[in-house]
Structure 1
Amino acid sequence: MADKCHMCLLGRIILCALLTGISGSEVTRVFCSSGEDVRLSCNKALPGWTSTSWLYNRRQETVELIDRGIQKNNTERHERLSLGSDCSLNIKKVTKEDRGLYSCRQYVNEQQHGADARVYLHVLHVSSSSSKSEIRSGRSLTLFCQLYNDDRVSCDTSVHSEGLDLIWVNQAGVNLQTDSRFQISFSSEQCLISLTTTLLNEDHNREWRCQLKHRDQLKTSVTYTVKCPSK
């Protein structure tokens, strides 16, 4: 009987990287993996929380998260949000639903001061085709690695026009696209790269990583390890 296996999340190599100047000099893009904490900067911020508001926009709907330093409690995620000493917006345990456009707006004497500092948050998320109890040596397993973008930014724009790349690598950092054991496919519509393989007993403690790169520079990644306990 084949050894039962289970997949666990060993760790995440997270840079919470940012790219400034993509699709306009006034926009900063931040890339992070789900489950991590992220800091969104309010560029050239005025001193003092009371001058700062943060707004969130997705699907053409704008929600006020922080109003002149006072946090709003009308959103489900308000407990994960906080304002940093430099007026940055801190988000704990980022989820794919946190993706979207964030705007830092500052005021002087009740009048808006300067243009909004805009930040696009993109979230890298990995899921499995099977639950832990269903994963065994000898069975097929598919991993899905998806980059969740702001709804107004297509995958074609992010990946092809701006030099972003999603790849699967092994522990040594070798692209698994070159290994015949793995079937890897990319969906430009969903911004998703999948990896399919048949698990072997030798896969015990083996790691596979999904990496997001920008012009060959690593921005963020998620590492999985397969655990196959002895009988």
Structure 2
Amino acid sequence: MTTVNAVTSATATSTTGSSATTGSALSGDFETFLKMLTVQMQNQDPMNPIESSDYAVQLATFSGVEQQVQTNQLLEGLASQLGLMGMSELAGWVGMEARSASPAHFSGDPVRLAPNPPVAADRAVLVVRNEAGDVVSSRSIDVSAEQTSWDGTDAAGNTLPEGNYSFELESYENGELLQTDPVETYSRIVEAQGTASGTVLLLEGGITIGTGDVTALREPTA
């Protein structure tokens, strides 16, 4: 490998790791680059000197890396600002009731549900599961898109312990199962959190959902 190729290779390696460096580190690397370039000039073969165009290529390569790093930093800063703006807007969601196809927390008060059986269904069964996935209640409900509620009791009418429960709707036609769908629930939003994967909403019972999972918002009902 020639001296020119060695320096160019070192610059390319710097390009690969540029996303993990900071602007200040890049400035320090520029001084190192100039030192390497000076040593390269001092140790070149007098009988085969390096072409000036080769120096221009190396300088252009390093300059391109520097500009790319600065661009990435600007984009990261912009993304951070947009994230803060999103959090500010979501602050108004805290305390509201969000509707989503997620489990709901039962603490003694009825859990409000929004089933949506298919038009062809002539019978609908609400299936309730605990956090372990066990069925704790199964009962027929009206075949309607109207909102309903679950009172927190099992098939025998006994009140179940406090906890998070998930809901499914089994839709039947002429005794045959058409489909099974998750039932949307209403839960109060406790907090909006910024995470590495985006903004999430913390619901009662420690349940978390993405902002895109919310299908409706409303004021808390008594």
TM-score normalised by the chain length of structure 2:
0.34
TM-score normalised by the chain length of structure 1:
0.33
- Of Structure 1 and Structure 2, the greater helix share is in 2
- Of Structure 1 and Structure 2, the greater strand share is in 1
Higher normalized contact order (CA 8 Å, seq sep 6+, divided by chain length): 1
